[in-house]
Amino acid sequence: MAQQRPSAIDKQHYKLDMRRYYRDFAIDFSGFLLGFIWLLHAEGAISMLLAYLLAVVSIHRASIFGHDIVHHYQDPRMCRFRLLWDYSAGAVSLFPVVRFYKPHLTHHAPSSFRTAADPQYLLLRHNPGFAVVVLLLAPPVLPLVNLLQVVAAGLGGTAGEAAIARFLERRGVRRANIPDARHRREIVARSRFSLALLVLVGVLAPEALLWLYLVLAGGWLLLALHVPLEHGLETLLERPSSWHDQRSDSYTVISPFADILQPHGMKYHTAHHLYPIVPYHNLPRLHAELAARDPNYRARIISLWDAIRGPARVGATVD
């Protein structure tokens, strides 16, 4: 199938507003710090629950910025913000942003999206067992997996990171999920900082380590739950995908609850897949423009209930 690129849009949609990045990230990460400190001093179940929810929702929102960083990784204007994220939200979550770089850009590649080469297109629908593993069982395990990777890279250096890559390859993990060798030094530097931060927390407030694990598990749960809101996740293509597939299998969910699971423009997922370089703060305006002029795009706007029961059953394209 021919690669049909989306039509041109106003160049202003591509403009990065770095002040917006710093402002929104500062609000989210401050919310996490406030919630976490409150959690350590909370008394009573209600107070602890409110503090926990604030910390989980805030670290989830702060972590979403890693998504935009990946799409603008080569942009020099993003360099300082990337460092800020890696040494704050990335350090706390034990997840250097370059671990997300290769799998996510492979997911967006116009020929590999929704094919067997796509590492982020998980067939969750019609397979309840797999869906339970991905959406409910994986989140509490992922902080521990990330900790093991941080320890291996932090203590073993680039050789330790290379050993992780060889271990994953031997166990059949797709290469798209394994960071390139050129990113190993960066991963090692970030991992050592995370490890030093964990040691410091463990010395000053050892009880905080358990709470940190529980908050990270909650954050991963929110990240996992938004996956079925983005794509059909029913079948893989047996041919190279096209820009038409990017549009027809991506969805925008209209619901206040979607705003919690998909903050910072993530709910405008069709617009994002058509124009992945548009920064999150311009996606609402781009969404309005596309919805006004393109009936096929409007067909990708669904309710939360439709997303839960299966968006492939609603909203056929007009083509």
Helix H, strand E, coil C: the string for 160-223 is HHHHHHHHHHHCCCCHHHCCCHHHHHHHHHHHHHHHHHHHHHHHHCCHHHHHHHHHHHHHHHHH
CB atoms within 10 A of CB 74: 7
With a pLDDT cut of 90, the percent of the chain lying above it is: 76
Q: Could you report the per-residue pLDDT of 161-207, keeping only the tens digit for each?
A: 999 999 888 888 888 889 999 999 999 999 999 999 999 999 999 99
- Of 150, 166, 158, nearest to 95 by C-alpha is 150
Q: Residue 295, class by beta-carbon neighbours within 10 Å (0-12 exposed, 13-18 middle, 19+ buried)?
A: exposed
Domain boundaries, the chain: 241-319
pTM score of the predicted model: 0.93
For tokens 């990045």, name the residue: 21
Note the pLDDT tens digit of each residue in 264-293.
Answer: 999 999 999 999 999 999 999 999 999 999
| Per-residue pLDDT of the chain in tens (319 residues, 90 and over written 9) | 444 566 778 889 999 999 999 999 999 999 999 999 999 999 999 999 999 999 999 999 999 999 999 999 999 999 999 999 999 999 999 999 999 999 999 999 988 999 999 999 999 988 889 999 999 999 999 999 999 999 999 999 999 999 999 988 888 888 888 999 999 999 999 999 999 999 999 999 999 999 999 999 999 999 999 999 999 998 999 999 988 899 889 999 988 888 888 999 999 999 999 999 999 999 999 999 999 999 989 999 998 888 887 766 554 443 4
